[in-house]
Chain A
């Protein structure tokens, strides 16, 4: 069929002059009757002209060219691709929520405001932190919110000397980029041989110039920072604050509270730990929590409850201000609330427990063929490393592409940077033992192929709608639009 109907024809290539997918009622007069000619558009935009049916076929076909969590196992490390319950798709867009205008009278918005308030309270209970803002639209946006909050804290104390943020070499790229956006100099520190922060290196780097240390817990090699309490003490002794990147919070939920670690500010990703779907890149939500001494610097407004009435309170003189227009990705927050409501104090920990069990199971099953870089129990994800010399010249990227042929999305690859040829696998708690066994079997088969027919693996994928793509060709002469 692909030979007759080209699979990736663009909508504009299917366009027929005069076709349309939606019609509006006629106006009595054209815009020129109301507006001066000088401010009118001169030429019509080059948009596709398709019928509704054409459009439905077009986008349905495109959806079928995708891997998705609903269809395939997605072992992406640090991405927490857990099942996204279908109920939330419906409940987060109930008409009264979807049609709520942010500037409607607050008396007409009590449902939305209450939902946001309850989510704030729930996140406080889970992390032990004093306050949460739901304003950030994504994890990186949460990081920026958090680091600007840290900066406001120091400046309120007339402590203007602090110009550095310390980031371990295992950090996500967003951490150093965030610190830079907040006007800080980034100081990278090396991890110890055990994959955790090297306390001595940290101590040597901390000074009265340090504004914050950004730490991902568990870290990106899938290990819990076992010295987190001492780290917090060292950081605080230096007058700095401890920022926790909560991208990997799925491994801790229900087991421990970041407030007890000594964390001052952190973000969570509702599109990871709290089961909101990733949507091919967003929208997410990155709530930021803060301990009591930092809370007043969080962005305004806050949802508060006074005498049984919910309202937005913007009267916060020391707040860093606003991070986005309106009040956050409310529809994503509603999904987070739905998820939270389905757990109680007893069942909450099963999320992390089963996530940890699944990751360790995959690690143990693969041992001998694909080995973990740090040979120890891991948290929610295991990081494997490939030696191409011992694998007939096959690289991690080849294994990743070959997995697509077996019906699995690829793990996160070449990250963290400290692990050569890294392959980072995070199964999440919602995958069954059968699925993990199937995934392991696929990797074992690939291992055998590497021994017997490495070229097959190097040329993968073979079963997708396109073969291996030359990514460099796109950047050379960028074609970014029709």
Chain B
């Protein structure tokens, strides 16, 4: 498949090479290492492949989704995939030849600009693999900048992010300690005050946190900077349509999972790692960045810049080994933000707040269920169930509903707790159906 050579082409090419068979070119591989027995099923035509993938797709059961937990279902305007799916974007390589890649380069510059505006941060990179690896890179940068060795992480950080952070920092000399949460589902600032010290390189704050609640960011910032440590905030970009920004509370690094900005959930990947910082740390950021340059006529042009940080120049002295990133996902995000503008972003964020609060209210009225709502939340909250959350999830699935994330899977003492999310995708009718179904189990 996909090789255009006719037998005549092949003959002529071999003739040019002065050989009589393709096999002569393959003798570079020692005969003993050649394989003849590949255990593969028969090949599919495009038509057969299409039928096969559709068959696989139908084995995914569609459920009305109320799960968030780091991956969210949002409305994606049709213009987003229509534009990013253009072959001119999709099949371009990394824009190393700037003159022939001005389109991709300008979209990255606009992405960086939109992200800085959204987060009120100074500098953004072109993208990272996902929120978790962006966070890990920010933490490693904090270690390099401060020369300190201890990382304090909110206990209310996404469990997968904690695991990735552990994997990434294992051989870096950094140690990671958790700061516990209050029973209201937010960070215990007193505990933070006690734990922080002159050895603390950075404090990792998730805001909203994994349980969906909004943190007292200013208080945490004060404690963090008071100890001379850096503040790294993990935020939900959609929430910034209404919630205070990491820039407003003086975060040194702010990271995010940008999937919510025009990218489908796709089983959690690809995601979009957003990595930003204050200007002072610009040269400590890993990964590609696009800047404005001039061409020989003095006209504005876009190029990959500050490449002296990167692996293809610095090799083992590079800040990170990252090369490929998530360019198309970043393109989706910048198209999404361009379509929404400041007003659309505010509207979608307000819809999330309203739907989640309406759902929380409805669930509170179901006998046996209660909602943790002492501290403010964005589009996600914790429901205390009368039985194990796993059981609720199973029974709700039978009714066509994905009820939420089982908090018992990450914290044994929360086995009756369900993390429930309602975005703008859930109509008021959906919310009522959820509450009715919950009442019926």
Pairs across A and B, CB under 8 Å, 22 listed: A21-B344, A34-B354, A40-B244, A41-B244, A47-B117, A47-B337, A99-B73, A137-B130, A255-B35, A280-B101, A281-B127, A283-B328, A327-B269, A330-B267, A330-B269, A468-B99, A470-B294, A473-B294, A475-B306, A475-B307, A480-B305, A481-B117
| Nearest opposing residue in chain B for A14, CB measure | B338
Which of A173, A280, A330 has most chain B Cβ within 10 Å? A280
B331 touches A94 (CB 8 A): no
The CA of A31 and the CA of B350, in the complex, are separated in Å by 5
* Residues of B with C-beta under 8 A to A109: 60-61, 267
| Nearest opposing residue in chain B for A401, CB measure | B99
Interface residue count for B (Cβ, 8 Å)? 193
B266 touches A27 (CB 8 A): no
Tell me if A388 is interfacial: C-beta within 8 Å of chain B.
no
Query: What 0/1 pattern do residues 336 to 373 of B give for CB contact below 8 A with A?
Result: 01111111111111110110010000000000000000
* Residues of A with C-beta under 8 A to B323: 138-140, 172-174
Minimum CB–CB distance from B49 to chain A (whole Å) comes to 6
| Nearest opposing residue in chain B for A262, CB measure | B33
Minimum CB–CB distance from B320 to chain A (whole Å) comes to 7
Given contacts A104-B65, A327-B267, contact A180 B93 (CB under 8 A): no
Tell me if A331 is interfacial: C-beta within 8 Å of chain B.
yes
Tell me if A237 is interfacial: C-beta within 8 Å of chain B.
no
Stretch from B20-28, B147-155, B222-230 forming part of the interface with A: B20-28
The CA of A458 and the CA of B70, in the complex, are separated in Å by 51
B28 touches A35 (CB 8 A): no
Query: What 0/1 pattern do residues 161 to 182 of B give for CB contact below 8 A with A?
Result: 1011011001110000000000
Tell me if A391 is interfacial: C-beta within 8 Å of chain B.
no
A283 touches B311 (CB 8 A): no
Given contacts A31-B349, A105-B394, A137-B130, contact A260 B33 (CB under 8 A): yes
- Top-8 shortest CB links A-B: A326-B268, A183-B171, A70-B87, A281-B327, A102-B268, A111-B59, A21-B339, A177-B321
The CA of A275 and the CA of B90, in the complex, are separated in Å by 12
* Residues of A with C-beta under 8 A to B104: 62, 66, 280-281
Minimum CB–CB distance from B433 to chain A (whole Å) comes to 17
A24 touches B244 (CB 8 A): no
* Residues of A with C-beta under 8 A to B37: 345
Given contacts A50-B339, A137-B133, A401-B99, contact A110 B113 (CB under 8 A): no
* Residues of A with C-beta under 8 A to B436: none
Query: What 0/1 pattern do residues 45 to 86 of B give for CB contact below 8 A with A?
Result: 110011011101111111101010111010101010111111
B312 touches A325 (CB 8 A): no
Query: What 0/1 pattern do residues 264 to 290 of A give for CB contact below 8 A with B?
Result: 000000010001011111111000000
Minimum CB–CB distance from A163 to chain B (whole Å) comes to 10
Minimum CB–CB distance from B39 to chain A (whole Å) comes to 5
* Residues of B with C-beta under 8 A to A323: 133, 164, 167
Tell me if B194 is interfacial: C-beta within 8 Å of chain A.
no
Number of A-B contacts (CB under 8 A): 651
If A31-B353, A176-B311, A461-B99 are given as contacts, then 14 extra A-B residue pairs at C-beta distance below 8 Å, sorted by A number, are A10-B110, A24-B344, A27-B353, A56-B79, A69-B93, A103-B405, A105-B402, A112-B60, A173-B311, A177-B318, A282-B326, A326-B130, A344-B43, A480-B290
| Nearest opposing residue in chain B for A354, CB measure | B3
* Residues of A with C-beta under 8 A to B405: 103
* Residues of B with C-beta under 8 A to A332: 269-270
* Residues of B with C-beta under 8 A to A79: 93
Minimum CB–CB distance from A421 to chain B (whole Å) comes to 16
Query: What 0/1 pattern do residues 246 to 271 of B give for CB contact below 8 A with A?
Result: 00100000000100000011111111
The CA of A139 and the CA of B129, in the complex, are separated in Å by 11
Minimum CB–CB distance from A215 to chain B (whole Å) comes to 14
Given contacts A63-B88, A466-B295, contact A103 B2 (CB under 8 A): no
The listed residue (A325, A364, A410) touching B257 by CB distance below 8 A is A325
Minimum CB–CB distance from B402 to chain A (whole Å) comes to 5
| Nearest opposing residue in chain B for A135, CB measure | B269
* Residues of A with C-beta under 8 A to B124: 480-481
Tell me if A42 is interfacial: C-beta within 8 Å of chain B.
yes
Tell me if A233 is interfacial: C-beta within 8 Å of chain B.
no
Minimum CB–CB distance from A291 to chain B (whole Å) comes to 16
Tell me if A292 is interfacial: C-beta within 8 Å of chain B.
no
The CA of A62 and the CA of B338, in the complex, are separated in Å by 14
A281 touches B28 (CB 8 A): no
* Residues of A with C-beta under 8 A to B52: 341
The CA of A474 and the CA of B301, in the complex, are separated in Å by 9
* Residues of A with C-beta under 8 A to B413: none
* Residues of B with C-beta under 8 A to A261: 33
* Residues of B with C-beta under 8 A to A401: 97, 99
* Residues of B with C-beta under 8 A to A466: 98-99, 102, 295, 299, 301
Which of A38, A108, A144 has most chain B Cβ within 10 Å? A108
